[in-house]
Structure 1
Amino acid sequence: MTASDGEWKETDAPPPPAFAESRAIPIEMPDRTLLKFSIDPATIAITSDGVVRYVVLASREGGASSAYYEGVRCSTDEVKTYARFNDGKWDGAKNPEWKPYRHIRSGYVARLTYQGLCRGHAPQVSVRETVELLRRPVREVQ
């Protein structure tokens, strides 16, 4: 928590929402990335405390896939993993904590926030706007 946050308090996270790989929107990643990431737009929620919660799916080509129920705090560039989907059921994370997402090796959270979850250091205005941005991410001019 930074000084500008004052007495920020996270709202209780609801249980992980149902997700479907068939609805998932791909997250644009560098070609060298072995894992493919996507987000189920039906799971995105923007809460009154400024947290954007969602289910992200990770998969290897022709291999296993997994899912994570996460929250992003745009104001502080942090992510929290609430649960992981393993063997057909959700397993809650033990002592989930907010962590800077810029240091996550795979980089998918930073890409996801840039492609539509956040507008600078704030969440998008609506879930609808978020989904539209994720479906048509802004390409960087090279």
Structure 2
Amino acid sequence: MPPPPKVTSQPDEWKESDVPPPPAFDEKKLLPIEMPPHLSLQYGIDPATITVTRDGVVRYVVVASNKAGGATNAFYEGVRCSSEEVKQYARFNQGAWHNASNPEWKRINVRNSRYAKELAEQALCRGHAPRASVGEMVRQIKDPVREVQ
């Protein structure tokens, strides 16, 4: 378990740690992310890919698939609970990882990262900090309890 992330008084003092290559994931072990029923895609996360770094970034692999079957894509991403941001490092399709050409931190509430927002709120973050452990995150994914913050 890494020590808690460094809290600084100035956001510009924060520096992201080196990003390791995307981890292997297993579609058979995906835990579903609770999403609004009107969405056409379903999302799941492989709990074995969740890590929390010293700088407070929660990294994971999330898999998106069509509810009707068919194409599946995976994304290697990081969430910063402290700033409510998400960054996509790589995308998996056609059997291989493809690194993002210019990964940038983006507000987590942008439309095309709705699943990241749901995942952060349901399991990865507690307020503006990562949850205490990966085990707690996995328990929250399996049984998302809405907390009053």
Is the shorter-chain TM-score for this pair beyond 0.5, marking a shared fold? yes
Q: Aligning the two structures, in what range does the TM-score lie when normalised by the shorter sequence?
A: over 0.9
Q: Equivalent of 1:87, from 87, 90, 94? A: 94
In the alignment, does 2:46 pair up with 1:32?
A: no
**Unmatched 5+ stretches in structure 1:** none
- Superposed, 1:1-142 pairs within 5 Å as 4-61=10-67, 62-105=69-112, 107-139=114-146
Say which SS state the counterpart of residue 49 (structure 1) adopts. coil
Whole-angstrom CA distance in 1 between matches of 2:112 and 2:88: 15
Say which SS state the counterpart of residue 105 (structure 1) adopts. helix
TM-score (norm 1): 0.93
- Report the aligned-residue RMSD: 1.8
What letter corresponds to residue 39 of structure 2 in structure 1?
T
What letter corresponds to residue 53 of structure 2 in structure 1?
T
1:5 deviates by 2.0
What letter corresponds to residue 112 of structure 2 in structure 1?
R
Tell me the matched-pair count.
140
Q: Bigger CA drift: 104-113 or 31-40?
A: 104-113
Whole-angstrom CA distance in 2 between matches of 1:4 and 1:138: 32
1:125 deviates by 1.1
Whole-angstrom CA distance in 1 between matches of 2:101 and 2:112: 21
1:104 deviates by 2.6
TM-score (norm 2): 0.89
